[in-house]
Amino acid sequence: MKRALPLVAGAMFGAGACISGMVRPSKVIGFLDWRSGAWDPTLLVVMVSALVVSVLAWRIVRSLRAPWLGGNFPGPPSPAIDAKLLGGAVLFGLGWGLAGYCPGPAVVSLVSHVPGALVFVAAMIAGMWIGDRARIGDDG
């Protein structure tokens, strides 16, 4: 189960990214670029439907004492809003808006015929290495 559960969860993520079209940067840019001729609302539809399910998931978490496979649930979220959070979010937004790849769908696309995903993920891992140098460790 400790292997099967994350494997199945990863497969579900991959299926969701493929079915919704979020593995296509052109579709993501079609949402983000408000001046493009054909605005594509799919990203918003994906986010809203995923948020509804996620709210329900946290309700289930609150009704359980511990995760199914043991361990602990995460503690309450930190309220600290600092320069690292804001600066990081701005950099992420810049990168996301430039090419339309975000980390999850890019990983799903690694084995596709489009070379962009491979270049993106390699550059992202290098960027993560740099980002980790610049932050004091906290949770993942």
Partner 1 sequence: MLVHGVLGGVLIALSLALMLVGTGRIAGLSGVVALLVRGDDRAWRAWFVAGMLAVGGAYELVAPQTFDAVAPRSLPIIAASGVLVGIGTRLSNGCTSGHGLCGMSRLSKRSIVATCAFFGVAVVTATVAGRWS
Q: Interaction with partner 1 in 62-121: which residues (CB under 8 A)?
A: 64, 66-69, 71-74, 77-81, 84-104, 106-116, 119-121
Q: Does 39 bind partner 1 (CB under 8 A)?
A: no
Q: Interaction with partner 1 in 45-64: which residues (CB under 8 A)?
A: 45-58, 60-61, 64
Residue 78 in tokens: 């930190």
Q: Are 99 and 123 in contact (CB under 8 A)?
A: no
Residue 129: CB minimum distance to partner 1, A: 7
Residue 103: CB minimum distance to partner 1, A: 4
Residue 51: CB minimum distance to partner 1, A: 5
Q: Interaction with partner 1 in 9-28: which residues (CB under 8 A)?
A: 9-26
Single-letter amino acid code for the residue at 128: M
Distance CA 100, CA 11 (A): 22
Residue 33: CB minimum distance to partner 1, A: 4
Residue 72 in tokens: 């602990």
Q: How many residues bind partner 1 (CB under 8 A)?
A: 116
Distance CA 20, CA 37 (A): 21
Q: Are 117 and 106 in contact (CB under 8 A)?
A: yes
Distance CA 77, CA 44 (A): 25
